[in-house]
Amino acid sequence: MQKLGYPGIRPNDFRHYCITDLTNFAIKAQIDLKCVSDMVGHANVSTTLDIYNESRSDQNQRLGMLLANRNRLSAA
């Protein structure tokens, strides 16, 4: 990879980036994650999610904000 101008980056780093981006896109677009899992050669969707889903913390924060807003509105 150094010859291509990417020192310190391994081919697997590119794979990880691409699959993470694809997984997060599929989640946001409500596309069946089995499609992504099949594309990358995983036998189970859980493998894909365990390794490549990095959007959970964002989703957890958003869910917390939505619940807090709902509670605030219902208390008013």
Higher pLDDT, residue 14 or 63: 14
pLDDT in tens, 1-39: 667 776 777 888 888 888 888 888 888 899 999 999 999
Q: pTM to 2 decimals?
A: 0.61
Give the chain's domain count. Answer: 1
pLDDT in tens, 50-62: 888 765 666 666 6
pLDDT of res. 55: 56
Residue 28: partners with Cβ closer than 8 Å, 6 or more residues away: 55
Q: Tell me the residue range of the domain where 43 lies.
A: 2-75
Average pLDDT of the segment spanning 38-67: 78
**CA pair distance 56, 24, nearest whole angstrom:** 9
Count of C-beta atoms within a 10 Å radius of residue 27: 16
Q: Which of 41, 67, 61 is nearest to 52 (CA)?
A: 41
CB-based contact 2:12 (threshold 8 Å) = no
